[in-house]
Structure 1
Amino acid sequence: MFDLLGLSTQHEMVYRAMLERPDLNVAGLSHHLAVPADQVREALDLLADLALIRLDAQSGHARVVRPQAGLMALLAKVEAEVVVRQRQVEATRAAIAAIATAHDDHRRVGEGRLLDGVDAVRERLTELAHDARTECLSFTTGRGQRPDTMQAEGTLNQLALERDVRIRNVYQNSFRNDPATLAHAQWMASLGAQSRTTPTLPMRLVIVDRETALVPIDPDDSQQGALELRAPGVVAGLVALFEQVWRVATPFGEPKAPDGDGLTPPERELLRLLAAGHTDESAARKLSISLRTVQRMMTALAERLGASSRFQAGVQASQRGWL
């Protein structure tokens, strides 16, 4: 019945049993429902993630949140996510339609032109870098940049930064594992540029002064060249796309040092989010990191706490004052 809320039939059964018998512990629920104890613990972890049960910091036991509050709040989250997702789909559809229209009409003077091949794109980027007055925005996809590419871009970006041109770039997370790209980003940061990363990017993109944009002819094959767009409506849509990605991307820099409890800021924030009822997916969105990273962080925290389950990890974290 509650599949939409992320509850399986067994999860719902454990939840209903806790409502009827709040005095039962894990062993009691296992006996009452004729379900193995490890499955009860797994259900409790999920119910805690969904904020349908909460930990009592003093006793360390779980208590059920009133259905009127817990289930309705969960449904409200689902409804809000659906609305946001629909808006993103509509915005993406509009951007695709705008790009498609501009691509069909690329021969129009003042609206755009075709840049055939990589060499043509590089030549145009050099011109734009020299002409930039206020701002350069870009998406960089792939696993790592070639040294000659980074050297050429670095020289142009340095000249632009010296003219007080603001530079912001979003890389894919895979670039974090490339030492050369990391060093390049750190060097650019020392000059005043800003870089962030995100798990995926829709395509390569360069926007100069919010007036000119370069997008690939084929997002899967940048060697084919790019389309230069100047139509205000199209460029505005691409700027909006960049800003949306930038807001949720992770700053490209060194991790912060652990605090007095040995927790890094992302780890403490993850614990806080999970204790507040966020799922792994919503915590990942809040922290601007991937779901796999959240799960890896949670596994490491559970090991440090000596916990065998997510629910037990929450109890231990509360007792240690980490929450």
Structure 2
Amino acid sequence: MLGLLGLDPLAQAVYSAMLADPAVGVRELAERLGQDERTIRETLDRLVELALLRPSRERSGTLYPVSLVAGMQLLVRRQEAELAAGRDAVAAGRVAAADREPAERLIGLDAVQAELEQLLAGATVEALSMVPGNAVPTASLEASRNIDDDVVRRVRSRVLYHASVRKDPNTVAYGRWLAERGTEIRVSPAVTRRLLIVDGRTAMVPIDPEQPSAGALCVREPGLVDQLTALFELIWTDAVPLGDPAPEEAAAELSATDRHLLRLLADGLTDDAAGKRLGVSARTVRRIMADLMDRLGAESRFEAGVEAARRGWL
């Protein structure tokens, strides 16, 4: 186990020996482990550096080992810090590269995949994706699973699918899997081009939208990335969550009475006046409106009117 946490075999042996007998000396360790004293001292220095050995307060000039549990926790935290530092270095390198290269052509699917993985591995703020088409191939979904899971653990992740994916069970299931992990997912008929934007600094678009295998263009020019981000946000604003019905589907579920009542109240009629127009009581009007407000997720009639208009119910 300690080897998996970065401790070499000799360091493991020395640490284990000192856990069993904290008073053991350098000479005895060298004899037990078949090493010269200089090598043992270098290993002890390494264990002190890792904080697995500490100066004894009781016996001046000697060392004592921390417990095995505490030692494993120290090694785990050290590895986590090294990984974080490596990730920061990658991100800094990519920023430096972005300053030198405003755009880069990636020829072929392999080059695109390699760059995509590097971009997402270096993400520190947000990843935005647009995925066109009425279904995403199952093989592509599975190939992306580990990457997507890693991204959403570290940064905010938002994905826009074309509205037609609602009819593909595999894509919907994958979208729900992503949503459970924290990815925000919406659908819109306006998603007609593939797009990836990372940290508001780098965008990736197809060289030829009709031939994805041709490769991609990696854009780092701030003005272009800003325009592409604005396009994403514009589509995102009008898109609906993957699990919600499309506006036209929800409107189709309205009865003639529901639709008529919404229009009457939008025109400013009171419950009594609207009830007379519909031939029902004011109490019935209030019951219908309570149901509509619940379906719209609104807390007031004004909010219900705004949401109904946004969904195209009026």
TM-score after normalising by structure 1: 0.49
Look up the match of 1:159.
150
- In 1, the alpha carbon distance for the partners of 2:167 and 2:251 equals 19
Residues 1:317 and 1:234: Cα distance change in structure 2 (over 3 Å): farther
1:168 and 2:119 equivalent?
no
- In 2, the alpha carbon distance for the partners of 1:317 and 1:218 equals 59
% identity of equivalent residues: 35
Which segments of 5 or more consecutive residues in structure 1 lack a partner in the other structure? 1-107, 256-288
Look up the match of 1:130.
121
Q: Secondary structure at the match of 1:215?
A: strand
1:68-126 per-residue CA deviation (whole Å, 9 max, x = no partner) reads: xxxxxxxxxxxxxxxxxxxxxxxxxxxxxxxxxxxxxxxx9511111112222112111
Residues 1:295 and 1:232: Cα distance change in structure 2 (over 3 Å): same
Look up the match of 2:111.
120
- In 1, the alpha carbon distance for the partners of 2:195 and 2:242 equals 18
- In 1, the alpha carbon distance for the partners of 2:278 and 2:111 equals 59
Q: Secondary structure at the match of 1:188?
A: helix
Which segments of 5 or more consecutive residues in structure 2 lack a partner in the other structure? 1-98, 265-275, 290-314
1:144 and 2:100 equivalent?
no
Of structures 1 and 2, the one scoring higher in RCO (CA 8 A, sep 6+) is: 1
1:98-156 per-residue CA deviation (whole Å, 9 max, x = no partner) reads: xxxxxxxxxx9511111112222112111112111111001000011111211122210
Asked whether the equivalents of residues 187 and 242 of structure 2 are also in contact (C-alpha less than 8 Å), the reply is yes
Shift of 1:318: 6.9
Shift of 1:230: 0.2
- The 5-angstrom pairing of residues 45-124 of structure 1 reads 109-124=100-115
Look up the match of 1:87.
none
1:118 maps to a residue whose letter is L
- In 2, the alpha carbon distance for the partners of 1:137 and 1:235 equals 12
Match of 1:293 among 212, 232, 249: 249
RMSD between superposed Cα atoms in Å: 3.1
Shift of 1:237: 0.8
- In 2, the alpha carbon distance for the partners of 1:295 and 1:254 equals 12
Number of aligned residue pairs: give it: 176
Look up the match of 1:99.
none
Large movers: runs of 4+ above 2 Å: 292-298, 314-320
- In 2, the alpha carbon distance for the partners of 1:207 and 1:182 equals 22
Shift of 1:316: 4.6
1:215 and 2:198 equivalent?
no
- In 1, the alpha carbon distance for the partners of 2:191 and 2:234 equals 11
Match of 2:188 among 191, 194, 198: 198
Residues 1:170 and 1:315: Cα distance change in structure 2 (over 3 Å): farther
Q: Secondary structure at the match of 1:220?
A: coil
Residues 1:318 and 1:242: Cα distance change in structure 2 (over 3 Å): farther
Asked whether the equivalents of residues 159 and 186 of structure 2 are also in contact (C-alpha less than 8 Å), the reply is yes
1:250 and 2:250 equivalent?
no
1:183 and 2:173 equivalent?
yes
- In 1, the alpha carbon distance for the partners of 2:114 and 2:163 equals 28
Residues 1:296 and 1:160: Cα distance change in structure 2 (over 3 Å): same
TM-score after normalising by structure 2: 0.50
Asked whether the equivalents of residues 190 and 235 of structure 2 are also in contact (C-alpha less than 8 Å), the reply is no
Q: Secondary structure at the match of 1:139?
A: strand
- In 2, the alpha carbon distance for the partners of 1:170 and 1:234 equals 20
Q: Determine which structure has more spread, i.e. the larger CA radius of gyration.
A: 2
Q: Secondary structure at the match of 1:245?
A: helix
1:238 and 2:228 equivalent?
yes
- In 2, the alpha carbon distance for the partners of 1:174 and 1:317 equals 40
